[in-house]
Structure 1
């Protein structure tokens, strides 16, 4: 009698993933490559335990059986008992639905599968009806009753890549019929094994284990970390309290903990962090200086290490642009520490984060994140039609990283000539563009948060804005910007507005950001050049996450101009 056999993951705690006789254990696979590796390892474990029957469906199932047979070689000669392969037909689920699961059990019994055979079913989703709920429950009831009379473990491997079919919620509703349920996911260069429930385990905690894939033999093993999948908290990892900082991050500061490891540069840090699991790495950002090297390093580390690795970026001499800060958050940093925060506070923050897990969505493609964070290569006045097109392109591209912008409508005072108001606008920063209808100027500020609009307007105009406009109406969200741009486009189509391009164009350079990166823009673009100094939107908040007002803000210039409490930051989890 074979009482217990392990899943196909090496190095798990002794009480985790034991497939017991008399029960059907289920492994839900949501990553193709890891699923194949785990299934092969599980099949080897089952084979070492004694007689084994493998059932697989489809073409991939045939390939799996062939790979497993080749992997045995001469090693299998001393194993006890027969090895039986079955290929499940494409109409198996329909036949079982019509004739019942007992017909399936009878057929494999006739083919030589006894109560003493361990049983591994690859692509097990093919033998269940996932649409008919009542039939689905009946089938799992039949599996429970059949397994109870067996003297060897059963493992059903069910494939649902990226959760596309929604099998997990269905299985979660059957705790009595599916007592052993684990989920295998790919994650940041490795994998995650989540124990949804298992006989003998605490039902209130979903234990989760970090996995690493061997490049040599394609085997899966634990990286020694354990987390609570529900609370996204690290229970244990061998390097959980380890901190590695770049030399520039701690240069000239007092109170650096003696146990911290200081890396001379990013190359040195990458070598030190080669096998890092849940350590904290502290990087420096000096404004936009060498930002591309920093951002690529962040993306590389997040993509190749578990989510339990903490990545913190600290501003040193100069501040980061808002869009670069948001890009780093999307590429995988846990936290941005602004230069105003004292180093003693940084140490406290790191100590409190040792059990955290990175849980935000991250951008898998580095260049897509870069493109989303960059404005179109254009600035200054544009005709209404081109203005609408360029704003639309920047909104579409930056929505993948939730980058916030502001659209401001400025009603012109009746005593001010429209051309005078336009000539007073000094927008030269890339992505800052403006146009006009019959009564107002429309100003789009790329990567400018609502709380920064007032100070930016003061710098953008060569005369006080109170002498030009009666108020300013701010559209602080993409939804409101879309609405205004669509209305402006329709108005221009119905009654073409005046184009001042020939008057406002001057042949002086636009101020570009120091960190240049290639970007993708939609449609042809036109560069309008102004002679005025550029605007610079600077982030000064100490908090990362604040609520954002989803409303249109109208501010008459005669009233005190103060940002509301909800206009602090647009960064969100």
Structure 2
């Protein structure tokens, strides 16, 4: 019987961590630092006599592969390879020239976004060839794939059983991680569809002890605590309803509730952060049985504000367009609901995750590109929902600098820059179907009268690719200044026979004679 290798997460069940000889196990991660730390922790879990190798696509990653004293195998073979699909296709043939892969445990750390421009047929072909190679040599291959599009990469591989012996992802959640297993073949059998909360500490990766309590009955599950203006002037509907005139009074009463329904009211943008902080505190202090609802009274919530409220622990946000009768039906439908979503404890970090851009208006070229790139690399923001990038070319006869004076974004997070005769505008958290409406508010005149044509990028991978192209431009090529006007001319003089004299204005009478009486 061949050796069995273990994943570097303690104390994870053997069904979700063991990797017997022969097969490919694949783990997608949100962040590269998580993949590197998991690589080190996995190497440290192996036996002293284990035959191990690590292959990376970035030479700088070799410096971060470390083992603590008295842990892991006595020797680890380290290799580097180019971060290209052609190099990956030659992976098995190149590796066998350097080591005898018999009963070897190989960890392959991919470069970020290596599969962005690779079609599924190429990926399936590589998995087929490599799977046969590992089975023929009784080798175990663990592939760590870091990248922001974690969900998309996992979806691409969902149909690759049995080419893959295991598929999982490690999702970053601010103050902890979620290890989600789609399927995992081990010496104990096959396990699938499991989620385990884990965290990274000084001692490596560890499974978090569950704090969930068994279901219990509550005495206040029919009680509804509500702000007065939510009911639009109507009285309490029954003895279960308790009305409060302010959100502070409602918050203080909800601090002693266990399973009641708490309904906050929102009328203006300035109340969002205060209500979000109250929802966040109640969710962490009173548990998952409490139902937290926010009803929007006026059109004041943006998509980022709604995402913030839901991330803080709200069960539901009712838009202002929903009538009171329908709102009551929606509230009644969640009375038996239990909140299972993870809520980070750091409220400030939660706010920064949904409002990461504190910039507005015109920005230098490098600042513009760097701000958008940082936003794309934020793993706390949903995939393909970070915003829209628009390149706009003005109509003939209008320079980009002139059109720029008409582009007036008022929302924080909407930034623009200029280069190559175009205006580049990034609208953070804007949906593609709302683009025309947003542009009509940014420009004071009809957009068609100012912009001749435009190019739009709204998917994360397309925006990232365009940023790479923009980064190749030198600063000297970006903004050529307007041509200087000719120097000031002296007053016109008349020269004749080397004599010059200045023209003097003479009065002219347009009407002659006495005006006639009507």
TM-score (norm 1): 0.46
Preserved CA contact (<8 Å) 2:62 2:78:
no
Preserved CA contact (<8 Å) 1:180 1:199:
yes
Once the two structures are superposed, residues 424-474 of structure 1 have per-residue CA deviations (whole angstroms, 9 ceiling, x without a partner) of xxxxxxxxxxxxxxxxxxxxxxxxxxxxxxxxxxxxxxxxxxxxxxxxxxx
Counterpart for residue 313 of structure 1: 293
Cα separation, partners in 2 of 1:490 and 1:180, compared to 1, 3 Å: closer
Identify the match of residue 96 of structure 2 among 106, 121, 140: 106
Counterpart for residue 364 of structure 1: 353
Secondary structure at 1:207 match in 2: strand
Q: How does 1:48-447 map to 2 (within 5 A)?
A: 50-65=50-65, 68-69=66-67, 72-73=68-69, 75-76=70-71, 82-90=74-82, 94=86, 97=89, 100-109=90-99, 113=100, 115-123=102-110, 131=118, 136-151=123-138, 153-163=140-150, 167-168=153-154, 170-172=156-158, 174-199=160-185, 207-217=193-203, 219-222=205-208, 224=210, 238=213, 249=225, 284-285=263-264, 287=266, 291=271, 294-297=274-277, 312-314=292-294, 320-324=297-301, 328-331=305-308, 332=310, 333-336=314-317, 346=331, 349-354=334-339, 364-366=353-355, 393=410
Preserved CA contact (<8 Å) 1:8 1:38:
yes
- Aligned-residue Cα RMSD (Å) equals 6.0
Secondary structure at 2:293 match in 1: strand
For 2:283 and 2:50, the matched residues in 1 are separated by 40
Cα separation, partners in 2 of 1:29 and 1:137, compared to 1, 3 Å: same
Preserved CA contact (<8 Å) 2:9 2:206:
yes
For 1:329 and 1:117, the matched residues in 2 are separated by 50
Secondary structure at 2:79 match in 1: strand
For 2:198 and 2:283, the matched residues in 1 are separated by 13
For 1:101 and 1:293, the matched residues in 2 are separated by 51
Cα separation, partners in 2 of 1:370 and 1:288, compared to 1, 3 Å: farther
Preserved CA contact (<8 Å) 2:111 2:145:
yes
Preserved CA contact (<8 Å) 1:369 1:401:
no
Cα separation, partners in 2 of 1:268 and 1:191, compared to 1, 3 Å: farther
For 1:221 and 1:95, the matched residues in 2 are separated by 35
Secondary structure at 1:103 match in 2: helix
Higher deviation after alignment, 137-146 or 346-355: 346-355
Once the two structures are superposed, residues 522-542 of structure 1 have per-residue CA deviations (whole angstroms, 9 ceiling, x without a partner) of xxxxxxxxxxxxxxxxxxxxx
Cα separation, partners in 2 of 1:114 and 1:264, compared to 1, 3 Å: farther
Preserved CA contact (<8 Å) 1:314 1:339:
no
Counterpart for residue 386 of structure 2: none
Preserved CA contact (<8 Å) 2:225 2:263:
yes
Cα separation, partners in 2 of 1:281 and 1:298, compared to 1, 3 Å: farther
Secondary structure at 2:178 match in 1: strand
Counterpart for residue 544 of structure 1: none
Preserved CA contact (<8 Å) 2:289 2:338:
no
For 1:269 and 1:48, the matched residues in 2 are separated by 56
Shift of 1:335: 0.4
Secondary structure at 2:35 match in 1: helix
Cα separation, partners in 2 of 1:209 and 1:394, compared to 1, 3 Å: same
Shift of 1:214: 4.1
Counterpart for residue 7 of structure 1: 7
Shift of 1:364: 2.0
Preserved CA contact (<8 Å) 2:59 2:80:
no
For 2:138 and 2:449, the matched residues in 1 are separated by 78
For 2:184 and 2:75, the matched residues in 1 are separated by 28
Once the two structures are superposed, residues 143-193 of structure 1 have per-residue CA deviations (whole angstroms, 9 ceiling, x without a partner) of 2122214456431222333359x6545544533322322222223533233
